[in-house]
Structure formats: C-alpha cells, structure tokens
Structure 1
Amino acid sequence: MLHAVQPGDGGVARVVTDLVRGQLAAGLRVAVACPPGTELAAAVRAEGADAYDWRAGRELGPRLAGETRELARLLRTVRPALVHAHSAKAGLCARLALRGRLPTVYQPHAWSFEAVEGTTAALARRWERWAARWTDRVLCVSDAERRTGENAGVRAAWSVIHNGVDATRFTPEGGSAAPGPGPAGATGGPLVVCVGRLCRQKGQDVLLDAWPAVLAEVPDARLVLVGDGPDAERLRAAAGPWPSVRFAGAVADPAPWYRAADLVVLPSRWEGMALAPLEAMACGRPVVVGDVDGARESLPPGHEALCLVPPGDPAALAAALGRLLGAPGLRHSLGREAREHVLSRFDVRRTGAAVAELYRELAGVRCTEHREPIAQ
C-alpha cells in the first residue's frame, strides 16, 4: 500500500513514520510518496520502506497538474492495493489521479478550509464535498474533526482513529535539561515550551502577545519556541524586546524539550488533533492548548478548565499560563495524570492496529500478526 504525503515534516511526518513502522512490522509492503529531502523521506527509508520522490509543494498553484501527473506515474509504478493520502495537497492530487479506481483513504490532519478565508475557503469546502465521491473512507483523528467536515457539507464514509504516540520514546525520564544554554538573563525560572511549525495555524503570535502579561505574573519565566517555518522571521522580530524568549529552531527529537519544560503550550487556531500536546503529556508534562478540534478529546477528564483557552485570545492564554506557572504542585499532579491518560488512550500501537483494521475492511490487506497494545 502507498502513503501519499505532503507535507513531509512536522506532526504529519511523525504520524506517517509511526504508521509505516507498525505496518512494516505487521508484514505489509509499504511505500511512501513524499517530497524529497524531507524529514519523512529520511525516516521511512531508515525504517526500511520504499520511498519515492514526489516533488509537490504545500500550496496550490500552476504546478498542480504536473504534481498530479507525477503522483499518477508513481501509482502506476508501485501498483498498490490501497492509497492513504495525508493532508489537503496529497488528498487533492491522489483523488484526482485515482478517481475511485483504487480503495482510497483520505486523512485531512485538519481541514484545508480552516486555513483560509472568503472565496478560497468556499472553494476548498466545495472541493472536499465533491472529492468525497472518490474517497472510500475519510479518516479523522478526532470526533470534532469529523463534525467539522460534516458541518461543511462533506458527505462521506467516516472513521475516527485518534492520533497515538510512542510512550516508550516519550517518557518523563531521559534527562532534565534541554540542549544548549538557556535564554540570557532568565536562567533558573520556570520554563514554558512550545513545539510546532512557526506558522499562523500554531498560534505562536498569540503566545508572544500574551507573554508580557505572563512576565507580569512570573517575572523569571522563560519561553522556548521549538520549530521552524514561514513565520520565523516575523516572530523573532516580535519577540525582540524580551530576553526571556528563545528560538531553538527545528529539532530531530522534541522529547528533551518536553522533559525540560515546566509547562508545554500550543495555542493553535485550528487542528485535527495536535500531536505535540500528546507527546508532552506522555512525558508527564501539563499542557495548555487552544480549544480547537481534538483538544478536548486529547485532555484527561477534568483538565479542561485549567488547560483549554479560546483560540486567538492572548489574555486568556496569559491567565492560564500564569496560573499554572505559579502552582508547581498542581503542575506535578496534572503532569502525572496526563501521562496516565496517554498510556491508557493514545498508545501509537493502538492507533496502528485500528488503521490496519481499516485497511483490511477496505481492501482485504492482510497482516502477519495483530497484537493489542501491552498494558503499561
């Protein structure tokens, strides 16, 4: 079977890598078509999967027809039994190339029409409604993401399978300090970490707008933004007045940063179900997240009042951060409950088993073994 993927980095890349690892272990022949030179291309080759260079950009544009033809050519080469398309661009090209001729799974990883406005959003909704006829299953990572699609008029066969994380990799142990020196003039204070692509979706601009109010409550607080992206230069300029803010850049493994954090934050404007908060909770860290699709489903029961904030609201975000930074005992108990919650509900092996079952349902794809996750 073939995963068609764009983008080839960030949370989508980590989700696909985990799926590929599990599918190879279960005896499937797995191929991945993704942009060359990306995090995903290197990772799936390291796992032993066939990786094919698909030169597709993130955005729509004049290259779309050529990108679709290139993917169609790869499909003829691989001849998969099933195609699993990840995110909007791959979902567009794969479904145009296939038009229902093979069993097709489309996984939005957050809907494209949430990222745009006006006429562009209306066109994106219209496409998703039309393309559902060429989709054997729309795979959502949260019930909220499915409801968003339904409310947009997408009439499809749905499956909801929550994202999962490798709880043997993301653990509270493994070191208590992140790589490199702390921000100048702010060593020793409580550390807030935000892991995510530096872009409008992830809301780092809202976090920086909130930061002066956080410092008013906790003057020695520190903030590290982990990741890179199109808004990096603008965000660095916005953070200029505060020596307590550090940009760590993109990292191959975010786990040391989660472990170094006293509190992890992701103030997204939209998501399907963000991976970074699950990874942070697996590391035993409390999280503060924007109240977008998947956020409520990812949090332990009872954490909503403390850990959810309205998206795009710097004042509410600052209040939540200040409240938790000032309560180390509460942070400790929230982190412990978060770890237990992820172990019980968001184990990556459970996610992989559910996706394999979906493949069997749609295309008769068989695995050599199927094991339920071992209780932790």
Structure 2
Amino acid sequence: MHLSSTNSRPRVLHVTQPVDAGVARVVTDLVRAQLAAGLAVTVACPGGALATGLRPLGAAVRHWQATRSPGPSLVREVRHLARVIDEVRPHLVHAHSAKAGLAGRLAVRGRIPTVFQPHAWSFEAVGGATSALALAWERWGARWASRVVCVSEAERTTGVRAGIGARWSVIPNGVDLQRFHPAPTGAVRAGLRPLRGVAPDAPLVVCVGRLCRQKGQDVLLEAWSTVARRVPGARLVLVGDGPDRDRLRACAPRSVLFAGAVSDAAPWYQAADLVVLPSRWEGMALAPLEAMACGRPVVVTDVDGARESLPPSHAPHCLVPPENPELLAGAVAALLLDLPLRESLGHQGFRYVLSSHDVRHTAEAVADVYRHLIGLRPAPRVSAHGS
C-alpha cells in the first residue's frame, strides 16, 4: 500500500475499544501497513497491550478512557474523544467495533470522513430492549459514517436486513503470513508449558478466543464429554481470558486445560491437531484464518463470515450450526479420528488463506476506501534510475 496526497502526510485517526483479541490485531496490522505507506497514524484507545505494541511501530497513541460498553460515562467519553480529534486534526477517522463506533460518530457527526468497522454487529450481542436500542442507534448512526466496512458479505447482509442504510464496503479479514505459518507439531508442543505432562501423541483440540458468551466455549465444553468418550486421551485447550473464565473452569473436566491470555497464539495453532471456534456470532473471526495459515484444520459454527472464511469444499466437515453441542461433538470427534482427512483439510486451508486472506490484500483494500474518501492517490512508482 503506497499512498500520496497533495498534503505532506495524510493523517488518520483510529479509534478503538475493545483493545484486545481480534480487533486489536486488525488495528495493529492496519497501522503497520499505513505507517509503511507514509501516513501519519494516531490511535485513540484506553491503553493496555495494544497501546504498548503500537508505539514501537511509530504510531502516535492518545489515551482515551472508555468503557467497553455504553453507560453513564458515554457523554464524558465523547467529549474527550472530540478534544483528541480537535488536537490531531485527522483527515479521516476510522472507528473500530460498536463502542468506538458509537463515540466516534457522535464526536465527529459527519464533519470529517468517517469509516466505521463493526467487527460483528452490536445488536447481535445482546437481547431484548438492549438489542432494540443498539439496532436503533446503528440505523441512525449510519448517516454519520462515510463508509461502513464489513469483514464479510454475510455481515453486510445482516446489516442490510436489519434496516441499516449505509454506504458499504466488504473487506475480508487477513492474516499476517509471516507470523502465522506451519511448523512441526511435536517441536512446538514441547515448548508450551501448559502441555507438560500431556502425552506427546495425545489428540489435541485448541480453541483460541476471549472467554465470553460470543465465542461459545460453554457449548464446546458441553460437547467435549462426548468427544472425550469417542477419542480416548484427547485434550482440549482454551487459549484466552475473559469474563467467563471462572464459570468455565468450574464446569470443565480434567481433560480441559486453560492456557490463559497469550501474546502470540501461533504456537497453539501449530501444536493443535484441530482448532475449534464455536461462536454464537461473528463478522469474520480471525482464529480460523490464523489456524489455516498454520496448516491446521478447523471446525467452526455457521455464523456470519464462517462460510466465506473456508474453502467451499470444507463445509460438510467443518461447519456446524451454532449452539448445537451434539453436532459440534460429532464433527470434532470425526476429524480427530480421521488423520488423512485432517491433513488434507489442513493443506487445502493453508493454500486458501495464502491466496484469499493475506493481510496485505486487506490493507490495500482499506487504502482504496481511504483514497476514495479523502482524495489520496497511489504514490508514483520510482524506477531503478530514479525517474
């Protein structure tokens, strides 16, 4: 991604809350690419590991104190963000996820080109009156988004069917293929402390994701008793942390291990025989893409973005309905018991991600949106002779 403008350095302000898991990886990958392209990039976020990781890349980080969900502090958060925008004077604001999308659009109100990227719709995450309120806001707030970027066609379709009248772009999530790549399983397992004491040849299922209702680890635990009966010696590792940690631990059998939050999930994908993500809703989850980039087969629930993230031939083996522990257990056990099929799916998935979900393609597609909104144009190519 190479950009130039009549201005010396186009200024982009990313606003994000949450600051962990997939959203943080998307923001980090975009910031890295945009800095390399010569943009002046600032990120407003509540701090934490995301801010710590962005500064060495060369991004300016502005502390924006904001809770994860809307609440009484929203007015203060919007005012604080408005001050940050006045100081940074960005040419474009890119707001990530529901909370930042809410505060960002209220702070800007259409005065600056604004990109909103939901990373899964907020009205799917809640129920009852709260869901109705979230949907009403998304319908209203769409007028203050110059572009809504969805990570899958299914996510866009969900928005359209919900009555959100937006100017849409669909840009699938991408994977950093230098970070996520195949590696010998045995060597990787030996270096993972939580696996000490586990037999080197034990069938290993890994689930990477925030421990919360969205990611559906409770459904996986309900399915796991059936898997463990059908596949003796199998182990399940939950990688991540979150609000459901203690509840999940309380109901997990001894064959389930909790790795906690990790700074690098790649070794866990590489160590796995199978990666599972039993989400209740998504836009397009990163974990299955990262697992396939590591050459590992996946089982995922058929929520937004899931079919688009898999090679078409994988659906019969790898897609199950959400919140169905019986079918989830059947798919997981069947793959654990079929090594040739697992290897074939792993190879196919790797080739698919390589061709369709390279993070460089994602960054370039986002750059095209920016070019359209703020008049950026591709930087002229310089020949070997400097002409």
What TM-score comes out, normalization by structure 1 length? 0.95
Identify the match of residue 206 of structure 2 among 193, 204, 210. 193
What are the ranges of 5 or more consecutive residues in structure 2 without an aligned counterpart?
1-11, 382-387
Q: Which residue of 1 aligns with 2:101?
A: 91
Q: Which residue of 2 aligns with 1:206?
A: 219
Q: Give the conservation status (yes or no) of the 8 Å contact 1:183–1:222.
A: no
Q: Which residue of 1 aligns with 2:230?
A: 217
Distance in 1, matches of 2:196 and 2:70, equals 38
Distance in 2, matches of 1:107 and 1:322, equals 36
The AA in structure 2 aligned to 1:54 is W
Identify the match of residue 179 of structure 1 among 184, 192, 195. 192
Q: Give the conservation status (yes or no) of the 8 Å contact 2:183–2:270.
A: yes
Distance in 2, matches of 1:274 and 1:45, equals 26
Shift of 1:189: 1.2
Shift of 1:190: 0.6
Look up the SS of the partner of 1:193 in the other structure. Answer: strand
Shift of 1:24: 0.5
The AA in structure 2 aligned to 1:343 is L
Note if 1:66 corresponds to 2:76.
yes
| 322-331 or 169-178, larger mean C-alpha shift | 169-178
C-alpha distance after superposition, 1:288-333 (max 9, x if no partner): 0010000000001210010001001100100000000000111011
Q: Which residue of 1 aligns with 2:353?
A: 342
The AA in structure 1 aligned to 2:367 is A
Q: Which residue of 2 aligns with 1:274?
A: 285
Note if 1:26 corresponds to 2:37.
yes
Q: Give the conservation status (yes or no) of the 8 Å contact 2:194–2:259.
A: no
Look up the SS of the partner of 1:30 in the other structure. Answer: strand
Shift of 1:181: 4.0
Q: Give the conservation status (yes or no) of the 8 Å contact 1:27–1:368.
A: no
Distance in 2, matches of 1:369 and 1:260, equals 44
What TM-score comes out, normalization by structure 2 length? 0.93
Look up the SS of the partner of 2:55 in the other structure. Answer: helix
Distance in 2, matches of 1:186 and 1:284, equals 22
Q: CA RMSD in A?
A: 1.4
The AA in structure 1 aligned to 2:86 is R
Q: Which residue of 2 aligns with 1:302?
A: 313
The AA in structure 2 aligned to 1:266 is L
Distance in 2, matches of 1:135 and 1:182, equals 46
Shift of 1:182: 1.9
Identify the match of residue 40 of structure 1 among 50, 54, 74. 50
The AA in structure 1 aligned to 2:297 is P
The AA in structure 2 aligned to 1:352 is A
Note if 1:164 corresponds to 2:174.
yes
Q: Give the conservation status (yes or no) of the 8 Å contact 1:225–1:246.
A: yes
Distance in 2, matches of 1:117 and 1:362, equals 35
Q: Which residue of 2 aligns with 1:101?
A: 111
Look up the SS of the partner of 1:303 in the other structure. Answer: helix
Q: Give the conservation status (yes or no) of the 8 Å contact 1:198–1:229.
A: yes
Distance in 2, matches of 1:66 and 1:125, equals 23
Distance in 1, matches of 2:149 and 2:13, equals 15
Shift of 1:238: 1.0
The AA in structure 1 aligned to 2:314 is H
Q: Give the conservation status (yes or no) of the 8 Å contact 2:94–2:117.
A: yes
Identify the match of residue 82 of structure 1 among 92, 98, 121. 92
Distance in 1, matches of 2:26 and 2:141, equals 23
C-alpha distance after superposition, 1:179-225 (max 9, x if no partner): 10427566631100000000000000000000000011101100000
Distance in 2, matches of 1:216 and 1:261, equals 19
Look up the SS of the partner of 2:44 in the other structure. Answer: strand
Shift of 1:364: 1.5
Note if 1:55 corresponds to 2:65.
yes
Q: Which residue of 2 aligns with 1:357?
A: 368
Note if 1:125 corresponds to 2:138.
no
Q: Give the conservation status (yes or no) of the 8 Å contact 1:214–1:318.
A: yes
Distance in 2, matches of 1:89 and 1:3, equals 13
Distance in 2, matches of 1:207 and 1:264, equals 12
Note if 1:261 corresponds to 2:250.
no
| Count of aligned pairs between the two proteins | 368
Identify the match of residue 248 of structure 2 among 235, 243, 253. 235
